[in-house]
Homo-oligomer: A and B are copies of this chain.
Amino acid sequence: MIVKNKAWLAEQILSKRSFLCVGLDSDISRLPSSVLSSDNPVLTFNKHIIDHTKDLCVAYKINTAFYESLGVKGWEAFQATVNYIPSTHLIIADAKRGDIGNTSLQYAKAFFEEAQCDAITVAPYMGEDSLKPFLSFEEKWTIILALTSNKGSKDFQMIEDTEGIPLYNQVLERTQSWGTEDQIMYVVGATKPEYLSEIRKTIPNHFLLVPGVGAQGGDLEKVFNHGANADVGLLVNSSRGIIFSSSKPDFAQAARTSALRLQSAMQRLLESKF
């Protein structure tokens, strides 16, 4: 079995000239009508998207909410999507889990063993023993929320302690010793590229999963300039900006066009530095 560690990820990025992660937030209410008649519309849609983007990206991020909202049928679509993604890609369950130890262990088993994902996003609020069970899977990635891309990130993540250190930075400082750089990644939103240089002072070597980049190249460049490290160290995710590029029967080709635009911009950035 391939161990998809940091070196593997850097190699994939350089050989594909892409650090793109395609987000499969496959909201059934937004699927093109051309797939709705199939037995499992979400799965059919995902297969078309994967077929048309897999040479342009290094990872897929499956947002579990859009599958859970469909009940058992959605869970089937989630698993079948994981099974369909080539082993050459990092498969991220974007699940934002986190609970007491024995419960987190069950979540880790659910996504790492049962579903066979390579990575899961987790929330740090409950502390070390809530994350350790994920980290006990040393060949899997635990992706910890640090500074998220949404407006509400200011509500708690930016609260400063008595020494002026904001909560998101406390999370970076404390959690980095709970595992290796080959198994811990952090979520840092692309909507705050100016924070990336600061964050790199605390965690120079970790990979970052960066959501919030649209179809435009502007933010991407800032993210790269502030966030790239010696291993590139970035997975930039785009979900809606790629997968819902068209609601017509050409949706997969349109998704490819959007993914290609991002990948081309990434290639230019990579060639300027690597």
Given A123-B123, A156-B124: A110 in contact with B75 (beta carbons within 8 A):
no
Would you call A152 and B127 a contact (CB within 8 A)?
yes
Would you call B153 and A126 a contact (CB within 8 A)?
yes
- Does A27 count as interface, using CB distance less than 8 angstroms? yes
- Interface-located stretch among A65-73, A213-221, A246-254: A65-73
- Does A36 count as interface, using CB distance less than 8 angstroms? no
Would you call A155 and B128 a contact (CB within 8 A)?
yes
Would you call B150 and A110 a contact (CB within 8 A)?
no
- Does A264 count as interface, using CB distance less than 8 angstroms? no
A238 vs chain B, min Cβ distance (A): 14
Residues of A57-78 at the interface with B, using a CB-CB cut-off of 8 Å, are 63, 65-66, 68-72, 74-76
Would you call B156 and A167 a contact (CB within 8 A)?
yes
Given A71-B75, A79-B72, A123-B96: A101 in contact with B150 (beta carbons within 8 A):
yes
- Does A269 count as interface, using CB distance less than 8 angstroms? no
Would you call A150 and B170 a contact (CB within 8 A)?
no
Chain B residues within 8 Å of A69, by CB: 106-107, 109-110, 113-114
A104 vs chain B, min Cβ distance (A): 7
Chain B residues within 8 Å of A130, by CB: 150, 152
Would you call A152 and B123 a contact (CB within 8 A)?
no
For the complex, what is the distance from the CA of A133 to the CA of B99, rounded to whole Å?
21
Chain B residues within 8 Å of A155, by CB: 124, 127-128, 174
A110 vs chain B, min Cβ distance (A): 4
- Does A258 count as interface, using CB distance less than 8 angstroms? no
Name the CB-closest residue of B to A187: B126
For the complex, what is the distance from the CA of A99 to the CA of B104, rounded to whole Å?
18
Would you call B114 and A126 a contact (CB within 8 A)?
no
Please give me the 3 A-B residue pairs with the lowest Cβ-Cβ distance, nearest first.
A127-B152, A127-B155, A65-B106
Interface residues of A (CB under 8 A from B): 25, 27, 63, 65-66, 68-72, 74-76, 79, 94, 96-104, 106-107, 109-111, 113-115, 123-131, 145, 148-157, 159-162, 164, 167, 170-171, 174
Q: A129-B150, A130-B152 are in contact. List 10 more A-B contacts (CB 8 A).
A: A65-B106, A68-B114, A71-B79, A96-B126, A98-B123, A123-B123, A125-B156, A127-B156, A156-B170, A159-B170
